[in-house]
A and B are shown apart, each in its own frame.
Chain A
Amino acid sequence: MQTNFEQFALTSMLGHEDSPPRLAGKLCFGEEWQRTAFGIALALSKSGYFDWEDFRQQLIAVIGEWERTHDLGDSSWNYYECWLTALERVIVDKALLRPEDIAAEQSEGDPTATERQGAP
């Protein structure tokens, strides 16, 4: 039995391929956007918009895609980029947001973002 959603969600990932980076016993975010992306995913699932397992499977799939296209020692690996991609996919799958709205909002925040959308 788990006492709450947050505990359940994190425990479900420990020891698996989607286990998040940690340091000195705590979650470790390299940048503020990583922390935001982490919080959004948990808040959405906690509110019932998708099962946590659905997000986990999407994240595992994205990590698998990265691994198939990169050397495992590639230093450009970024866990939370995979997280963000998985989050975008689940949000679009569950029709919480439309992809065109996300793209428009993104280019507003970073004017050069849209032209780079094609980049890996």
Chain B
Amino acid sequence: MSSETTDRSAASPQELASAQENALRFSRRNLLIAGATAAASPAFAPGSVTPAQAQAPATPPQRFEYPPNREALSAARAKALESLLIEKGVITGQSVDSVLSFFETQMGPFNGAKVVARAWLDPAFKQRLGEDTPAAIATLDLAKGMAGAEGEHMRAAVNSPTLHNLVICTLCSCYPWPVLGLPPYWYKDPTFRSRAAREPRVVLKEFGLDIPPSVEIKTWDSSAQIRWFVVPERPPGTDGMSESELAKLVTPEGMMGVAKV
């Protein structure tokens, strides 16, 4: 399977300490080893450890023989490029910072989170969001481009006590990441997509989301024409929270419909 070689992530266990970095460990191959239905499994939540990793030796086998201070070497390589390019006037530190800040502050899941938080606080906005998503989004103070390009055909699927929405995506290039954030690895997996379309209730249960039989589930397939996102229900116990406090609760998974907020 050619996809086995794709989408691996970075770094070796001994180099990674924090819980966040844990998420970098599992490889695409580990995802596939864990089983055919696993693409839709909660075992793939960031930070989880697959059996293959649990058995990984504490130190890499001798046959790989990496330099003892691998991170320091890489850091020196990156620093050398940065220093020389700036020294020779090829780039400025500012141009590098500006590129990075684009990903860190302008485009990402925090935009979708703001939209959802506003919808929780403002019923009129919520209604407009469901009826004319780009127009509703355009009224918010988001980075330029949110209502255009990747965002221009966005449609909100609004959850209610009687309806749960789930979004799947045929092509990763259709994923509206400036609003929802970058898609997780399993999202484009054909197994996940086909099963989510066929038996969404079962798939959601595997994600730990037990939708009662009385609640209808609708599955929306994002395409180049329409990019869907879910407006999850406001969680209980959040009365009195400000918009920015509420936005912090909204996760990309919630906006895909594979988790509650």
A binding-site residues for B, Cβ under 8 Å: 1-4, 6-7, 10-11, 14-17, 19, 21-28, 30-40, 42-44, 46-47, 49, 67, 70, 72-81, 84, 87-88, 91, 96-97, 101-102, 105-106, 108-110, 112-113, 116, 119-120
Contacts and interface: CB of A to CB of B under 8 A. Distances in A.
A47 B12 CA distance: 33
A21 B84 contact: no
B36 interface: no
A7 B145 contact: yes
B91 A44 contact: yes
Contacts of B33: 73
A92 B29 CA distance: 33
Interface stretch (B118-126, B172-180, B238-246): B172-180
Task: Report the contact-size class of chain B (Cβ under 8 Å from the partner).
Answer: 35 or more
B72 A40 contact: no
Interface string B74-96: 11111111111100101100011
B142 interface: no
Given A3-B148, A26-B103, 20 more contacts: A3-B149, A7-B107, A14-B172, A14-B183, A24-B251, A25-B177, A25-B251, A30-B15, A30-B21, A31-B74, A40-B78, A40-B91, A47-B90, A47-B95, A73-B52, A75-B56, A81-B10, A97-B85, A108-B80, A112-B73
B225 interface: no
Contact of A17 (B7, B70, B75, B79): B7
Nearest to B29: A72
B16 A77 contact: no
Contacts of A23: 20, 23-24, 46
Interface centre among B25, B79, B107, B171 (most CB of A within 10 A): B79
Given A6-B102, A6-B103, A40-B78, A19 B7 contact: yes
Contacts, number: 231
10 contacts: A34-B78, A37-B81, A39-B100, A47-B95, A72-B8, A88-B81, A91-B81, A97-B88, A102-B84, A109-B75
Interface stretch (B58-66, B130-138, B196-204): B58-66
Nearest to B3: A17
Given A7-B149, A11-B177, A14-B173, A75 B53 contact: yes
B191 interface: no
